[in-house]
Amino acid sequence: MARTLDDLAALSGVSRATVSRVINGGPVSEETRRRVLEVLERTGYRPNRAARTLASGRSGVVGVVMHIDPQHLFRDPYFAGLLTGMSNALAEKAVGMMLWLGDRTKDEILDQIQLRGLLDGVIVTAHWREDPLVDSLLDSSMPTVLIGHRRSHPEASYVDVDDVQAADTITTHLIEIGRRRIGHITGIPGSVAGADRLEGYKRAMARAKLPTEGLVVEGEFNRASGAAGAAQLIEAGVDAIFCANDATAAGALETIKAHGLRVPEDIALAGYDDLDFAAQLDPPLTTIRQGVQDQGAAAARTLFQLLEDPDGGPRRVLLPTELVIRRSTVGGVRRFD
């Protein structure tokens, strides 16, 4: 069984260099190529990746770090979409993916990632406003693409959606349908998405000269905190609630109904994410759609660019969002489902 390039070279009567050229698409005469390919085929030869990496300086593998509690990671379809998008984009270029999940500490992960000659670059989720792991990665020489945080670091390349703008848009939608006391149930404090969406909400409210005092309740991106938050906001006498994500909105919806109030007649409700279930709620939920798979794919492609032209400066990609209007805000009159 042929194991090395030298074996193949001997078998096909050319030099090792030529076999390498055939494999990697270098300039080789048609006839030689054919002969070598035949041997390649016949022997079922597989190149040794480590040797190739060592000689060429490229590994063809990128790291993906999802620095998030695994429980959360798998409950949230957001990460599934991200991973799927990346996985597809990487596979297109036959690039491998090494994955670090969850709750490992910063140093453990860093140690592994920074082993040189293993990874060409890394994609890392940056969902927390403070994350030492992300900072270290940016300071290292490892080409890095962030998902979700427009880090102020001058060298940071990232892929993100404009959460502030999207939250502004959906809040403005609530204002345009005539609501005045619009409450907001936030995401997890410390999360970038939570902070950005709150900011967008406040911006829209300020522009419309509407009050927000007593109308902002802290949530946790989940059903339970949505249910609890809605109770507080009902108390505060709101006529609309913008929730930091769909799960929160689902919880809020339960509470509103339990109070005998109608959506949207008494309280208009809006979420964020447009997960599958948002359209299944009763009434279907007005929300913001962000192409999660696209984000994953974009991150992969951004990393490719970074690797191809390392001196081209940081790459910054802002993906569009879409306001999806359903009956939880414009109920009864027009139907969007």
CB of 150 to a second copy, least distance (A): 27
Contact 127, 192 (CB under 8 A): yes
28 is a contact residue toward DNA (CB under 7 A): yes
Contact 171, 205 (CB under 8 A): yes
310 binds, among a second copy, DNA, none (CB under 5 to 8 A by kind): none
Among 25, 41, 46, 213, binds a second copy (CB under 8 A): 46
Among 18, 59, 165, 171, binds a second copy (CB under 8 A): 59
Among 41, 44, 55, 213, binds DNA (CB under 7 A): 55
48 is a contact residue toward a second copy (CB under 8 A): yes
d(CA 218, CA 271): 15
Task: Report 96-135 residues binding a second copy (CB under 8 A).
Answer: 96-102, 104, 108, 111-112, 114-118
Measured from the CB atom, the residue of 289 and 316 that comes closer to a second copy is 289
Among 2, 11, 14, 83, binds a second copy (CB under 8 A): 83
34 is a contact residue toward DNA (CB under 7 A): no
Straight-line distance from the first to the last Cα atom of the chain, in angstroms, rounded to the nearest whole number: 62
145 beta partners: 123, 157
Exposed / middle / buried, residue 41 (Cβ in 10 Å: 0-12, 13-18, 19+): exposed
206 is a contact residue toward a second copy (CB under 8 A): no
Measured from the CB atom, the residue of 82 and 204 that comes closer to a second copy is 82
Measured from the CB atom, the residue of 118 and 279 that comes closer to DNA is 118
Token pair, residue 279, equals 């359209």
CB of 19 to DNA, least distance (A): 7
Longest dimension (CA), the chain: 86
CB atoms within 10 A of CB 288: 27
5 is a contact residue toward DNA (CB under 7 A): yes
What is the rounded (10 degree) CA torsion for 123, 127, 133, 134? 60
91 binds, among DNA, a second copy, none (CB under 5 to 8 A by kind): a second copy
d(CA 252, CA 243): 8
For 195, residues 6+ apart whose C-beta sits below 8 A from its C-beta are 129, 187, 189
313 is a contact residue toward a second copy (CB under 8 A): no
Measured from the CB atom, the residue of 24 and 71 that comes closer to DNA is 24
Token pair, residue 60, equals 């063809």
280 is a contact residue toward DNA (CB under 7 A): no
For 252, residues 6+ apart whose C-beta sits below 8 A from its C-beta are 185, 226, 227, 229, 230, 233, 241, 243, 269
> Could you list the residues that contact DNA (CB under 7 A)?
3-6, 13-18, 20-21, 23-24, 26-32, 47-48, 51-52, 54-57, 117
Enumerate binding residues for a second copy (CB under 8 A): 46-51, 53-54, 59, 61, 70-71, 73-74, 77, 79-80, 83-84, 87, 91, 94, 96-102, 104, 108, 111-112, 114-118
